[in-house]
Copies of this chain bind each other. A is one copy, B any other.
């Protein structure tokens, strides 16, 4: 395996850890197995990450950054918050499919981890998404397209809970075909309409 520069090595270790955590779970995966699968020694892994908790934190932050960037690019040209929320919801099945290993890792840890660092970075991730959707909803209220008796925070959580639920049952049980998830997001947007 050719020698990689530090940022590339870091990205490669994140990608390998994501795959192994998704396949075997966070607990069952060791830094030794991550280093082995990445074709490096454990001391090299430890030059980049203090351990698998730090790798997990890096995975969650990377999912957060990619999701936020993706949604901002996707919605930049759309006329209002209703179109933006619907577009994000309609495209969510494709987003989840593309990041399926990442979502397995996030949701596996969310369901089972009792580790405080793991929980802290997950909380940070969801609060970031809460704030993104709450701002969209507040903008829609200011623009007069959304009713004002809904709290932006509750609307944001309605979207987040639906997203987590969708990813959980779709990725793992192949339930909820796209037509059903589209109806669900339409219903949420309809419920917000002024």
Contact = CB atoms under 8 A, between A and B. Distances in A.
Interface of A: 23, 25, 27-28, 104, 107-108, 110-114, 119, 122-123, 126-127, 150-151, 153-155, 157-158, 160-166, 168-169, 172-173, 175-176, 179-181, 183-184, 187-188, 190-192
A116 to B, nearest CB: 11
A165 B169 contact: no
Number of copies: 2
A157 B178 CA distance: 12
Given A108-B112, A160-B169, A161-B169, 13 more contacts: A25-B112, A107-B107, A107-B111, A110-B111, A112-B112, A119-B173, A127-B175, A157-B180, A158-B184, A158-B187, A161-B161, A165-B165, A188-B191
Question: Looking at chain A's contact residues, is the secondary structure mostly helix, strand, loop, or mixed?
Answer: helix
Contacts of A154: 179-180, 183-184, 187
A171 to B, nearest CB: 9
A107 to B, nearest CB: 4
B108 A172 contact: no
Contacts of A113: 172
22 contacts: A25-B25, A27-B28, A110-B169, A110-B172, A111-B168, A112-B112, A113-B172, A123-B173, A126-B175, A154-B179, A154-B180, A157-B180, A157-B181, A158-B162, A158-B188, A162-B162, A164-B164, A164-B169, A165-B165, A187-B191, A187-B192, A190-B191
A157 B173 contact: no
A27 B23 CA distance: 12
Contact of A168 (B104, B110, B119, B192): B110
